[in-house]
Amino acid sequence: MISYKYLGSGTQYELQLDLYFECLPSTVGHDLMSSIGVYDSAGISVDFFNIPADTSTIVTVTDSCNGICIRKVSYIDTVSFSFQATGGYVFRYERCCFSTTLTNLQNSGSIGFGLITNFFYTGSNTPNNSSPTSNSSSGFIVQNNQAFSLDFSATDPDGDQLTYTFTSTPQYLSQFSPKPLNPSFNPNGCISLSGGYSNSMPIASSSSNPAILYPTTGIYSGTPVLNGLFIMTVLITETRNGSTIGTSTRTIPLAVSPCLVSSIGKNEVISKNKVFPNPILNRFKIQSQSKLERVYIQDFKGKILKELNLNNNEFELTDLPSGIYLLRLESKAGTETKKIIKQ
């Protein structure tokens, strides 16, 4: 996912690219540098940036039996860029090729992908916009035949409304130039998933608990029924005052394993908040590394059921019936969503 954040003065932005890599001994590993091309809405090249991997953000997730390993790497740099073209800009990234072990894509080792972030500047919205940034701090491994709930959501620094849908993945085919210095404006078409999979159904899931991406929360939940490594792309749409001002694509590998996640790399603390006890009978507490600004409880469709009073050290759920809910925790460090069980 490509994101940019206005730094508050002049033309300075923080540009960030979040990527996922397989980290098995047989794979190449992550890139030390990555390139992002910038185009105006007519497809004319405006600029490109070569940004380094921030090694302090690298997070590795492995399972406990098959040696599945996914590494999330963020590329971050401060750049100077002036939003001036009417019609907006397109930020592009391209890379070839996917892992050879993808379950839902044939010949995946010869196919690459692109990431796209659009900003639709019309003159009526401020050019000093900041795009959504991912809330996920690691890759994703779930256990087969066990219900999961994953947070594919993002946070918008300007408070714009975000919605989430699965979409097709832009295709990049050049094995001879796997890391183009200036990614192209037009992708080589879109990737077609194979083996009966589709953009809206990228994994095999239970008919009694099918995998669903909830459009208002970005939560992806269900029960998988087949082991494998699956690729999927989420389209994040940014809306302000009823008008779409930006979109971002996020391509995500999801590993389904017969066993549980065994370890998470130590370069970053994955969960900044702890909730205990969970499951919850009537009362619970939150331990946070950052000062919480807002905490509320949602259902899986995104409806806010209850906002918690942060002046209390202990929170009550006596007014909610038994069930599974989403606890949304917001702070200056970011937003985290945790699944809680009310007994």
pLDDT of residue 91: 93
- What residue ranges of the chain have pLDDT lower than 50? 26, 266-270
What local confidence, expressed as pLDDT, does residue 122 receive? 64
Q: What angle do CA 267, 4, 88 make, to 5 degrees?
A: 160
d(CA 91, CA 320): 44
**What's residue 268's pLDDT?**
38
pLDDT in the model for residue 262: 63
Return the pLDDT at 203.
Answer: 97
Which pTM value belongs to this model? 0.79
The token pair that represents 182 in the structure block:
């200036």
Nearest residue to 13 (alpha-carbon basis) of 119, 122, 125, 129: 129
pLDDT in tens, 30-75: 788 899 999 988 889 988 899 888 877 788 888 878 778 888 899 9
Give the single-character DSSP code of 205: B
φ/ψ region of 10 (left if φ > 0, alpha if ψ in -120 to 50, else beta) reads: left
Task: Determine contact, residues 278/152, Cβ cutoff 8 Å.
Answer: no
**pLDDT tens figures, 320-334:** 998 888 888 887 666
In angstroms, the CA 143 to CA 238 distance is 32
pLDDT for residue 267 = 41
Using the CB atoms, write b or e for 228-262: b if 16+ within 10 Å.
bbbbbbbbbbbebeeeebbbbbbbbbbbbbeeebe
CA distances (Å), origin 301, targets 66, 161, 318: 34, 15, 21
Q: What is the per-residue pLDDT across 171-182, written as a single tens digit (0 to 9) for each?
A: 886 667 788 877
Give the number of residues written for the chain.
343
286, 315 in Cβ contact below 8 A?
yes
Residues 74, 77, 78, 81: is their CA dihedral positive or negative?
negative
Cβ–Cβ under 8 Å, residues 93 and 233: no
